Structure 1
């Protein structure tokens, strides 16, 4: 038989009722809270607190918070007036039993409605993701068609210009041929007249003049001095083998080379064995292109679309840490805290070995996982991640302040934590 809690406390205003129920050492995960507009039950074995409320409340606008050894229930009154009592004062067991049964039925209906709402939301999200992908495909198809049309117009214009040039060349050749024939006929007639007139001496002078001009031209060609050939040679260029901008440290060379090798291998891995991915365009099968799309969606506040873009990129290549880290940031915005922890952990696993080149990425992934732990009230785990990030970036004032705040929460100096 459960033990009834009697050392609770309650206060009220004209519009709100606040109830504080002590947990008596019970863990947060073992507290069961049932709430309707007329009935409140808090069960943490072997203790039980129940209240048949004096007046009905607005259950949808009421809240319950569990933490720091106490359950704080905030009830929104339907009528703004002061209650005489917290609970109804009646000894009728049948009346109490009827109220409990009605409360249980309402709670079950509420759970059913919430389940249906989640299913509809999930269906809507899938539909939106599909419509988004179809929209991207249509845009890509239209872009390709525009490129084809532009190339076809360009080719048509070049063909028309080439045909026009061919026609002009043919006309010019015909004109040159006609002029040559006319010149030949004129020259023939002139020669005939000269022969008839006996002008052989004039023709000889012309021939001599032409021969003399030709001889002078040949002499000038022989006198032209050609330039000497240019000298050849080889230019030797040497490059430093260092890749990282830091100074050479013999103890970190092997780790840096291992990190570079992993990065190079990650860019060449492509998981294309999914049948549903074979229909995607070439750009849509590029993880880098999908990552840029996800970054744009995140910047615009469309976190769900960003998650879809990062997820598709991860299916194509699971060896890029930034994809998991960025998707963890989206899950934090969407309050998918367990998924944020999983993605952050996967990113940290890929960011090995720890070298200066991936220090900033490790710090971001640690902070995101630590924030998810803290929002789940797992402050000890969250403190470890914040301390790991602070070790990487010890001069970050915001990180120092958040770490100290988590320490204060663990030590009990803040009663209502809200670490982001």
Structure 2
């Protein structure tokens, strides 16, 4: 399956069929299933998109009975004239989103069902579906504007240049926590979870639809936390891909993908290091983020990996120092640590290295709190701790970045925590 499909925003949340009674919903979904099945489209997207429609329009676990779609005459008494253009749109979205030639066959089937007198308007909707804007269409069908605006934005977003950002680190540096902080939600396993030797690709979606999707041998368009945190044993490839809308204090409209590599000093499996090294050597990214554990600066593992990066990667690099908020007043110094890291990098051969501090955990907790996500008791305690700690001038990490962030946040305290954590400054640099 094309990874672009993981970046598609669903429009189900604004679909008018959601307001109808159960009988109408079941007939409508049965019609969709009929036209989709008629063209024998059995790819993963088609199968799971239809599953999502069943679950969200009717209810989890609803199964369409085969006898209900064998004979088209079953629907003669209930042709859904009011919803015929929604029906066409849904069938195109499910069966032929990125295949206009296949979509033409879907169009002809639906015209054959409703009658030739609707051809002109059906073709108008068809052409609009595969375009990126159509003012005449929205004037003709104002009721479809909300849905088609999402479809057009999907096409514009996915058609824009993709920025790939690879993240590498040793174990316990907080790499997965940084991924979760950048996403603004938990989508990646942290150090407390068992991790496998996989490359995790995290794509920003074109818009917020409140669905996270995952392609891990199977495709899930509404992946639960349990699914996101559990690797599929049937996946014999090296990749797992997730699509979700990134959340921050501002909309993140950048077409971006983060590539999370396995920790290179895993004591459990040397294939972690081998896979990460191969990914770095491939240079298949626009930017590399190297994350340090601020409590273990200058370790042999870091020196070894830094030398490998220096010898095998020629692209842009940002070095991030995490976990500095564990430092003690008058004992440790954030500024001194950053200076030491810069000097160590220069000794290895990095010229004018870019080094910033970050509190990935504070960024993650802040975003979870901002969006009303439930925190565990331990996370609540940690949240209170980092709010106090990062309010001190020594731990205001944003001052170490070369850009200013204009903070606009509905919750001032959380906004200041996110600012001091460095996550907002980092995002501004990454997405500019």
User: Do they fold alike, i.e. is TM over 0.5?
Assistant: no
Query: What TM-score comes out, normalization by structure 1 length?
Result: 0.20
Asked which structure has the greater CA Rg, the reply is: 1
Query: What TM-score comes out, normalization by structure 2 length?
Result: 0.20
Say which structure is richer in helix.
1
